[in-house]
């Protein structure tokens, strides 16, 4: 399970990592401001209610899928936040969709990933015996699946059929190494972004696992992070990072230059109490799971 309160030791480890060529930009770029639009979900187990939501993804038609961790299920909503359906999934965490509308869900307890269709029918499971405590998943344009194999401190790449292709990463703080990686995403160009939680940074790789660059450190200012727990990309290739410790989402361009941010601690509209995951739809709308407030919030550019 993710640890959402970051001890001082973790911060010190992140400050001490070597081989860093990170950027720490302090001025906004060209991105617009994101405005709170709506929220959905309240604490409970009924239709449309949530109990510790941990993951989120959006398909090409705008349907929203939420990993309702505390209720051991996935819930499906339309773009307005109206409940559509649900299905059982054991302790679901990170999620992703492919171009065909299939949904991939991490099961950290079982240490595998399950592939569902849009109605919740199980199509495949993979990674059993290979993965340990998988926290996040991403899918590229060819249907290859990238899993944040947190317990083994690496990224594992599978084919669309679940065959192991490659893996990369070892424990450490140098370029290409990880300590508790918690998020993974793939952009339209095939770049892979990993939220390297304890090292307090985002790392960028090729689809073959070759290190490209990184950014981030510990701070509450623009650009740096306290605890990056999730990452996603939009169709333009911009990168959105959930910084749980700062209760905000930050947006960067593909090279790690800071663009904008939104969110603050609280229970009001647009506030967060432990954000855990982020997804962006084809129109650029951003959806964030607000773990502590048991809801999802939508922001529009």
Q: Which two tokens stand for residue 41?
A: 């979900």
The per-residue pLDDT for 217 is 80
For residues 241 and 249, is the Cβ–Cβ distance under 8 A? yes
Q: What percent of the chain has pLDDT over 70?
A: 88
Does pLDDT of 176 surpass 70? Answer: yes
For residues 66 and 94, is the Cβ–Cβ distance under 8 A? no
Closest-CA residue to 90 (of 61, 58, 64, 128): 128
Q: Which two tokens stand for residue 102?
A: 């299939």
Does pLDDT of 70 surpass 80? Answer: yes
Does pLDDT of 28 surpass 50? Answer: no
Q: Cα–Cα distance between 256 and 217 in angstroms, integer?
A: 12
Q: pLDDT tens across 116-154, in order?
A: 999 999 999 999 999 999 999 999 999 999 999 999 999
Q: pLDDT tens across 275-289, in order?
A: 999 999 999 999 999
Model confidence band, residue 41 (pLDDT cutoffs 50, 70, 90): very high
For residues 95 and 110, is the Cβ–Cβ distance under 8 A? no
Q: Which residue has the tokens 């990463």?
A: 169
The per-residue pLDDT for 299 is 97
Work out whether the CA dihedral 244, 215, 299, 280 comes out positive or negative: negative
Task: Determine whether 219 is exposed, middle or buried from the number of CB atoms within 10 Å of its CB (0-12, 13-18, 19+).
Answer: middle
Does pLDDT of 1 surpass 90? Answer: no
Question: Does the pTM of the predicted model rise above 0.85?
Answer: yes
Phi first, then psi, for residue 14 (nearest 5°) are -60, -40
Contacting residues for 172 by C-beta, under 8 A, at least 6 apart: 178, 179
């Amino acid at each position: 399970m993710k640890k959402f309160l970051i001890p001082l030791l973790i911060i010190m480890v992140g400050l001490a990592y070597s081989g860093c060529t990170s950027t720490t930009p302090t001025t906004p770029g060209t991105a617009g401001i994101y405005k709170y639009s709506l929220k959905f979900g309240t604490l409970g187990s009924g239709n449309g209610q949530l109990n510790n939501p941990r993951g989120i993804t959006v398909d090409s038609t705008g349907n929203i899928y939420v990993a309702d961790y505390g209720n051991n299920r996935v819930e499906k909503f339309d773009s307005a936040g109206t409940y559509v359906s649900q299905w059982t999934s054991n302790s679901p965490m990170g999620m992703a969709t492919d171009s065909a509308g299939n949904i991939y869900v991490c099961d950290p307890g079982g240490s595998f990933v399950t592939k569902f269709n849009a109605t919740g029918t199980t199509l495949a499971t993979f990674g059993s015996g290979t993965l340990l405590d998988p926290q996040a998943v991403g899918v590229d344009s060819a249907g290859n699946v990238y899993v944040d194999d947190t317990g083994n401190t690496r990224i594992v790449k599978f084919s669309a059929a679940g065959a192991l292709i490659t893996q990369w990463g070892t424990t450490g703080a140098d370029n290409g190494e990880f300590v508790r990686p918690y998020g993974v995403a793939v952009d339209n160009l095939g770049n892979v972004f990993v939220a390297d939680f304890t090292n307090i940074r985002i790392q960028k790789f090729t689809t073959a696992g070759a290190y490209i660059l990184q950014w981030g450190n510990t701070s509450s200012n623009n650009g740096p992070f306290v605890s990056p727990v999730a990452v996603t990309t939009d169709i333009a290739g911009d990168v959105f990072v959930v910084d749980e410790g700062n209760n905000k989402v930050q947006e960067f361009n593909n090279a790690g230059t800071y663009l904008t941010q939104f969110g603050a601690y609280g229970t009001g509209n647009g506030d967060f109490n432990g954000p855990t995951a982020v997804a962006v739809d084809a129109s650029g709308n951003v959806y964030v799971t607000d773990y502590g407030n048991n809801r999802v919030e939508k922001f529009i550019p």
